[in-house]
Structure 1
């Protein structure tokens, strides 16, 4: 197993959580230390896709450690240099906007800010219904930022949801390895 310490953060794209958990399992199979982080919304919201309690327990079971689920718990990630890479999977349009604007009002955005201060990579696996509309400018801004990398993404339903973009979650481990080497996994845009 590889020794780099990976943070794995969940945001509220609830319909993609099952695929994100699979990506977490793939990352945990490769890296010894995986620190789970969940947004406050994920930690408290039950949906038709599952309960918050079940998600938290599953993530903690896979990582064999408690989740970071508050701004206060996430803040030490920077000063203590707790991570070598941070994955945000899934990353919602709302979180994309906050990252692009430098807003730090959730456990996930605090984890990213704290981690980026050390010049270390953040890997974004986006899942947003407005990726080719309102969130497009934020994707562009983040593509241009140092130490921000994307899991390859594309339209998940071009006819039914023409502005929706979702990362290929099966590529999360590859994207993490590339980011640790200072590289963006290519191609960034993938077809479905």
Structure 2
């Protein structure tokens, strides 16, 4: 009888993250993840010890992949004001969850973890860099007013993303992308010189 190939931690964590995002960082079970990856709950416990450890590793891998995707050629092709709103679509897709409120609460409990803080800081810095690039382009194209200083304004936009996600997590709404874009349109409205699609 041939043995089945052992699933790598990376592949397992990718599938586990989808389950965790759907079920919640504290509500998911080893049984649900096991069913998705075709392993027994006992095998998962042996490999990852606790649900918290599994969730932390899955989330950290997801952040690393998101950062890699943001820095990829795909995101270098985003341009100007349209690019800012296209980037919000990407952000919305990366955080969309039926239990976002539970994820936000869980993330708050992880704020004291040095590895988590480091990954979050890298993710935020990358996000700010993308916004800064897009703001500069929008100003150069005459889409936004020159009154905007891209570096500090990119920090404002990145903070707005985090605040809007936190707010959304506790609202009875279902469309995180729409929620983010409404906030951005409000903040950018006084500076928009040329409407774009």
TM-score, length of structure 2 as denominator length: 0.31
More strand by share: 1
- Quick check: which one's helix share is greater? 2
| Rg larger for | 2
How does the TM-score come out when normalised to structure 1?
0.32
